Structure 1
Amino acid sequence: MKGLNRKRFNIWPYLLVTPALLIVIFVVFLPVINAIIMSFKSYDLRRPFDIGFIGLRNYKEVLSDPLFWDALNNTLIWVVGGVGLQFFFGFILALLLHQKFRGRGVVRAVSLIPWATPGVLIGLMWKWIYDGNYGVLNDILLKLNIIDEAIPFLSQTSSAFPSVIVTIIWQGIPFFAIMLLAGLQGISQEMYEAADIDGASSAQKLFRITIPSLKNVILTTLLLRIIWVSNSVDIIFNMTGGGPSYSTQTLSVYIFNKANVLNLGYASAMAIILMALLAFVAIPYIKKSFKEG
């Protein structure tokens, strides 16, 4: 009887998960371990014979580097401003796309274009839009007599960073719109009908039904987008390269620039610091997931 009651071990679930697990190990886990090891080494490929263990020297140099702190400050502005406005406008777009109107399916499909466009192409496209000589934005502003002469948006420190933030906002709005729209479609209409019977206003339904019902979707999408935007390199690199005068250099761009000049140990130390900061941001979500599990 014991043998009959004992559950049979099924190896198939483990075999099906194995390919994905191997990809994660070789594409994510091993490179992270390698980056951690390199962060404790003098790993400058311009001096290949000086590669060796140096302990925490890279981390000490990073923490005493004023460009690192400037890049970290830019990253904070880049993430808070970019992701915050992406969410705000994405939520408005989701509410609009949730309404019934003719051509709604086409509008939903078209709204995905910024999100589906590669970051490199977005950077090049918006670089042309902002160009001080032949950019379309300057052309429109001049024809409307809003400005008297062309503005080099990406060539001056006062306007370069706001310009790239506008670009990342434009790219990320569809992500929040589609994710929140999916959440909106999962909310029971009976709650809204009951609220209408009780005489609730649109604002009351928004803050007492819609937003609380979307709490998990909002938390997940914000966390994912914070991580993606923090690691984003392609848009800034193709638009400004981190300039002018490092005014648009975020931490991920600074890491990329350091790795580009083959100072891999220093770049790895900054990458590990960025990873630790993002892990700290993700802790509330991880705790919440474990509690629900």
Structure 2
Amino acid sequence: MKKEKLYIWPYLLIAPALFIVAAVVFVPVANAILMSFQSYDLRRPREIVFIGLANYIEVFHDSIFWGSLLRTALWVIFGVGFQFLFGFILANFLNKSFKGRGIIRSVSLIPWVTPGVLIGLMWRWIYDGSYGVLNDLLKKVGLIDMPIPFLAQESTVMPSVIVTIIWQGIPFFALMLLAGLQGVPAELYEAADIDGANGAQKLFRITIPSIKNTIFVTTLLRIIWVANSVDVIFSMTGGGPAYASQTLSVYIFNKANSLNLGYSSTMSLLLTLLLLVVAVPYLKSMFRNQEG
């Protein structure tokens, strides 16, 4: 009898946590799956009915959905790509020993710890066509004669919000990659110097191979976060003008705001399936590291 109690006891201990996870994660997911098969519009609560695959069929004929998906791909590829590039450069810089390194490390984290909505509002002011600081600087150095409405025209709005998300995400990559760089043995670089290796050889044959797991996991995690990001774009443009900055997550948010929960749930599930392509390798990597 004693053995049975000891065997059951661990499950009793984790039961509250499992209950919370089920209530917060699994129940809403199950509800979203159910709503995706319904005409679920809170503006017409009496007309909520099961419609099968109608929402999914409508999505595949929705030109706004495909445009938002394309912008999501650009948002992730350029956003995460340049975050990694500049984060890697910053990590290598912060890995060196110099006076004031601790202060610079602390200051460099400011974009990452600042709330996304606040970042969006700050950069909206920077880009403003009437009194924005960016237009003021460009006019002072003679690059432009007339102010550019960066967030009000289709040709500049998407590059503008991508620059903002790059600025926000650089510290995350810098912090994670710096942790990886500090684990690379100094003896490897000393041996490379003795062999006459140049900077590029040390980078591609020592640095990158030594932190490849950190690069892989950090990049996959950031791809998932950026693809799901709503706060920065929504607070800057709301997805406009004319859907020019609307990513899929923002389109889902706007649809949910208009109370069309059935259609927004359908798109949410499709976005989840797309992100599983990234999430599965990430989870495999985590389990592999735990087993090792």
Q: TM-score, normalised by structure 2?
A: 0.94
Q: Take 1:119 and 1:287, find their aligned partners in 2: how far apart are those partners?
A: 29
1:253 aligns with 2:253: no
Q: Aligned match of 2:233 in 229, 233, 236?
A: 236
Q: Take 2:7 and 2:190, find their aligned partners in 1: how far apart are those partners?
A: 48
Which residue number in structure 1 is paired with residue 66 of structure 2?
A: 69
Which residue number in structure 2 is paired with residue 58 of structure 1?
A: 55
Following superposition, the deviation at residue 21 of structure 1 comes to 3.2
Q: Aligned match of 2:205 in 208, 215, 226?
A: 208
Which of 197-206 and 278-287 deviates more? 278-287
Q: Take 1:242 and 1:272, find their aligned partners in 2: how far apart are those partners?
A: 20
Which residue number in structure 1 is paired with residue 35 of structure 2?
A: 38
Which residue number in structure 2 is paired with residue 122 of structure 1?
A: 119
Q: Take 2:249 and 2:17, find their aligned partners in 1: how far apart are those partners?
A: 27
Cα deviation 1:132-188 (Å, max 9, x = unaligned)? 001011111111111001110000000000000000000000000000000111111
> Within 5 Å, which residues of 2 pair with 1:90-239?
90-239=87-236
Q: Aligned match of 2:21 in 20, 24, 28?
A: 24
Q: Take 1:239 and 1:278, find their aligned partners in 2: how far apart are those partners?
A: 24
Q: Take 2:191 and 2:8, find their aligned partners in 1: how far apart are those partners?
A: 49
Q: Gaps (5+ residues) in structure 1?
A: 1-5
Which residue number in structure 2 is paired with residue 3 of structure 1?
A: none
Give the AA of the match of 1:50.
Answer: E
Q: Take 2:11 and 2:259, find their aligned partners in 1: how far apart are those partners?
A: 40
The answer to whether the Cα contact below 8 Å between 2:221 and 2:282 also exists between their aligned partners in 1 is no
Which residue number in structure 2 is paired with residue 79 of structure 1?
A: 76
Give the AA of the match of 2:179.
Answer: A
Q: Take 1:103 and 1:12, find their aligned partners in 2: how far apart are those partners?
A: 52
Following superposition, the deviation at residue 32 of structure 1 comes to 1.1
- Shift in CA distance, 16/203, structure 1 to aligned 2, threshold 3 Å: farther
Which of 33-42 and 64-73 deviates more? 33-42
The answer to whether the Cα contact below 8 Å between 2:189 and 2:202 also exists between their aligned partners in 1 is yes
SS in 2 for 1:122: helix
Following superposition, the deviation at residue 16 of structure 1 comes to 5.3
The answer to whether the Cα contact below 8 Å between 2:41 and 2:260 also exists between their aligned partners in 1 is yes
Q: Take 1:223 and 1:173, find their aligned partners in 2: how far apart are those partners?
A: 15
SS in 1 for 2:152: coil
Q: Take 2:213 and 2:20, find their aligned partners in 1: how far apart are those partners?
A: 28
Which of 8-17 and 158-167 deviates more? 8-17
SS in 1 for 2:25: helix
Following superposition, the deviation at residue 11 of structure 1 comes to 6.0
Q: Gaps (5+ residues) in structure 2?
A: none
In the comparison of the two structures, how many residue pairs are matched? Answer: 288
- Shift in CA distance, 126/47, structure 1 to aligned 2, threshold 3 Å: same
Identity %: 68
Q: Aligned match of 1:47 in 39, 44, 47?
A: 44
